[in-house]
Homo-oligomer: A and B are copies of this chain.
Amino acid sequence: MSKKGLAKGKSGKKYTITEEQQGEYHYVYGPYATPVIHVEPGAIIVAETHDAFEGKIKKTTDKPSKILNFPYLNPQNGPIYVEGARKGDTLAVYIKSIKPRGKQPVGTTCLIKNFGGLVGTADTAILNAPLPERVKKLVIDKKGVHWSKKLILPYEPFIGTIGTSPEIEAITSLQPDYYGGNMDVPDVATNTVIYLPVNKEGAYLYLGDCHAAQGDGELCGVAIEHPTTTTIQVDLIKGWTIANPRLENERFYMSIGSGRPMEDATRRAYKDLINWMVADWGYDKLEAYFLLTQCGRVRLGNMVDPKYSMGASISKSIISKR
């Protein structure tokens, strides 16, 4: 947990956001909702997240296009009001644990009409006929994610969608941007601190959409979705203003850029990482650019959302050797 925050790494009061407490989940990242809880920096929050379909896809014969009702998708817990947070500050959210919740088969994935990375979509509008829909329900247990009788994928859970509210916009939870949102970057996993810019008083933190496993790019647009009990600790860093979500874990520092086309997402990520190296490690801007050319790492989050997400990172073992 970040030592730079107000809580100085100490755990504060513990809060829960059960399904009951949450009541209506949210489908936009915005300032117009009423906070479900108010917390102080250091607070530990245990949230019952829904899967991206709010549990409505129950069996393999379900037709996603008939069940799903845009824009009521990707339900989010929150908003969480963080006391003391003001525009220009940054939240540091430490992800303590993510655990599957509910009855087996607890995992869901599906092919949705006109949605995905290798099909025509509302944006990449084409005349070809859509692919057929498919639904898969999967048991997730200690062994992992049971894809088939022969194949068990490792359980590698992360938070697909997490972020703060924009100042005056309210944006679909299907989209990622500078405030976080639907980034689908698998590194937003346990034992990670994600930094999120505060755009309005109280920050209004939202989260949801936890994935049990996901490949780079979330190719068909639907990872192994599952409801969880997710525990985070929220801290507040006063006066640290950031332009993109950033994260750190034991191995690296990462900045996450979102945009279209994909090169713009990558540019945003790398440029912000350079800015971070300049501000916090004293790099010369061009030296940072030069060095990342030789050792930067890139991870594709999603290639399916209204904006694509890319994480650009540098190893902790390198960054300090300036």
Contact = CB atoms under 8 A, between A and B. Distances in A.
Nearest to A212: B294
A293 to B, nearest CB: 4
Given A126-B267, A224-B294, A261-B263, A219 B289 contact: yes
Interface stretch (A12-20, A34-42, A114-122): A114-122
A91 interface: no
B126 A169 contact: no
Nearest to A26: B168
A110 to B, nearest CB: 9
Interface in A142-163: 145, 147-148, 150-151, 153
Contacts of A7: none
A111 interface: yes
Interface residues of A, number: 86
Contact of A145 (B127, B268, B294, B300): B294
Contact of A126 (B125, B128, B132, B286): B128
A305 to B, nearest CB: 12
B132 A286 contact: yes
A58 interface: no
Contacts of A289: 111, 116, 118, 127, 219-220
Contacts of A139: none
Interface in A22-67: 27-28, 30, 32
A216 B71 CA distance: 33
Contacts of A279: none
B124 A267 contact: yes
A111 B288 CA distance: 12
A6 interface: no
Given A118-B270, A318-B151, A290 B220 contact: yes
A219 B296 CA distance: 8
Interface of A: 27-28, 30, 32, 71, 109, 111, 116-120, 122-132, 134, 136, 145, 147-148, 150-151, 153, 166-172, 178, 213-224, 243, 257, 259-264, 266-268, 270-272, 274, 285-286, 289-300, 303, 308, 312, 318, 321-322
7 contacts: A118-B274, A123-B268, A127-B271, A128-B130, A150-B322, A223-B294, A260-B263
Please provide the 5 A-B residue pairs with the shortest distance between their CB atoms, ordered closest to farther.
A261-B261, A262-B262, A215-B296, A128-B128, A216-B298
